[in-house]
Structure 1
Amino acid sequence: GELDSVKGIEGETLYRHCRVKDHHHHLLCRRCGTAIELEAPALEDWALAMGKQHGFSELEHVVEVTGYCPDCTLARREEESHGGTAR
């Protein structure tokens, strides 16, 4: 229960250590892989409401919100301003 797995951009399985043992979600940097653990009660309420509305039971869900962390955002901007290609 201490490791979590996620599919990487190229389809590989990546593992990460989660400090929060209860159900939670992540912000994930597409460039460096930094993961920030999030609790999202509004998302939990929405998922339950959608399941109930459509007659589903025993609901489970996984949410990964991806983007670029502040450091990678800055690095990408610097690469782009110098004519390099950001990964």
Structure 2
Amino acid sequence: MTAFAEAGRADVVRDGTGERLFRHRPGPDHRHYLIRTACGLSLPVDADPVETWAEKIARTSGFAHVRHTAELSGRCPDCDPERARAR
């Protein structure tokens, strides 16, 4: 699976324990995900601001082949006990 990620065919995210999870990359750009901590599902999110920021840092620092990770996690509405009680 690491070879798929290195070839740009998969994205890597980490779960709550730090384990690497691989997601199929449907296009040439990698994706960022909102990972649901209780049920383990994930949703791709719009990450244009993250990509713009990473490109700016690479450009202004003079670094090449800059890579980044941005991971978001939380409880989805179906798994959040506080929201379930409030319904």
TM-score (norm 1): 0.65
1:72 is paired with a residue whose SS is coil
Which residue pairs with 2:82 in the alignment?
77
Deviations 1:31-73, CA, capped at 9 Å, x for gaps = 1112001232121111111122222111222221111111112
Identity %: 34
Please tell me the root mean square deviation across aligned C-alpha atoms, in Å: 2.7
For 2:16 and 2:10, the matched residues in 1 are separated by 19
1:48 is paired with a residue whose SS is helix
For 1:52 and 1:21, the matched residues in 2 are separated by 21
For 1:43 and 1:4, the matched residues in 2 are separated by 15
For 2:73 and 2:37, the matched residues in 1 are separated by 6
For 2:29 and 2:54, the matched residues in 1 are separated by 17
Provide the aligned length of Structure 1 versus Structure 2. Answer: 79
Q: Does residue 28 of structure 1 match 2:35?
A: yes
Quickly say closer, same or farther: Cα 1:69–1:47, change in 2 above 3 A: same
- Comparing 62-71 and 16-25, the one that deviates more: 16-25
Per the TM alignment, residue 6 of structure 1 is displaced from its structure 2 partner at its CA by 2.9
Which stretches in structure 1 are left out of the alignment for 5+ residues?
82-87
Decide which structure has the larger Cα Rg and report it: 1
Per the TM alignment, residue 78 of structure 1 is displaced from its structure 2 partner at its CA by 6.7
Quickly say closer, same or farther: Cα 1:44–1:6, change in 2 above 3 A: closer
Quickly say closer, same or farther: Cα 1:26–1:59, change in 2 above 3 A: same
